[in-house]
Structure 1
């Protein structure tokens, strides 16, 4: 009985899961072309984080209000700032670089089991950004 009680105490005190942190580079040029996040797609579990690395100057990372779960907290990093963002709400998140948004510098984050086919890119999104987001979703996040 003592062993069962000890095992239950240890299991209840242990964390159920360890949150992961993924690093994303903000680049002038990468495998996907000019003005890109690398990787441009990340699949996370709720509670995981992304650390956006200021690899090249004049970039930032900001959530797209058009593509974010309704209950998720928006974020916006400063230019040349490395930030870490924890994603707690399941769904799809569009991320943009404000200075290079019209040039298509965006990425897609899938938190939980939200289907990529559910991505709705509004007409207000610049054409290059819209195409890049649709391409990411179409390839299922694969490079």
Structure 2
């Protein structure tokens, strides 16, 4: 009981900013039962540096991945900050999850390996865009991306305005 009370006191002493930065953002991998449409929900999200994003597959009929657009992942174009660490989950079966902690500010685009051509992509913005320093350069790298993927990304402006963008 004493340990629990100490943890409670420590949690209460955290500032609101620190608590918010520690929240886990959940992105659901979903799809129609017949497999005719698959998506990430939300498709766009704004987070603070140090936050964790957890993808969870809630699609009972499909396996999915979350894979950063990065040359280390099948030679894909770089669409995350240069200083950021790339990620690639294994295929996640229903109810499995995968998490990444985002520490570098910037725009992070990612996709599902088997469903990229169906437009199953997402965008995470960490921090606040800067008008200088090449903040947006990775987002313009579209070589080799399917049109369905390029058309599916929410804009940076929409994510900044809404904080969370759901696919319609």
Q: Distance in 1 between matches of 2:52 and 2:99?
A: 7
Structure 1 stretches lacking a partner, 5+ long: 1-13
Q: Distance in 2 between matches of 1:23 and 1:138?
A: 19
Residue 138 of structure 1, CA deviation: 6.4
Aligned alpha-carbon RMSD (Å): 2.4
Q: What corresponds to 1:62 in structure 2?
A: 67
Greater relative contact order (CA < 8 Å, ≥ 6 in sequence): 2
TM-score, normalised to structure 1's length?
Answer: 0.78
TM-score, normalised to structure 2's length?
Answer: 0.67
Structure 2 stretches lacking a partner, 5+ long: 1-12, 71-77, 160-164
Alpha carbons 1:106, 1:132 under 8 Å: kept: yes
Alpha carbons 1:50, 1:86 under 8 Å: kept: yes
Q: Alignment partner of 1:101: what SS?
A: helix
Matches within 5 A, 1:1-143: 17-18=18-19, 19-29=22-32, 34-56=37-59, 57-65=62-70, 66-80=78-92, 81-114=96-129, 118=136, 119-133=139-153, 136-137=154-155, 140-141=158-159, 142-143=165-166
- Higher share in helix: 2
Aligned residues: 126
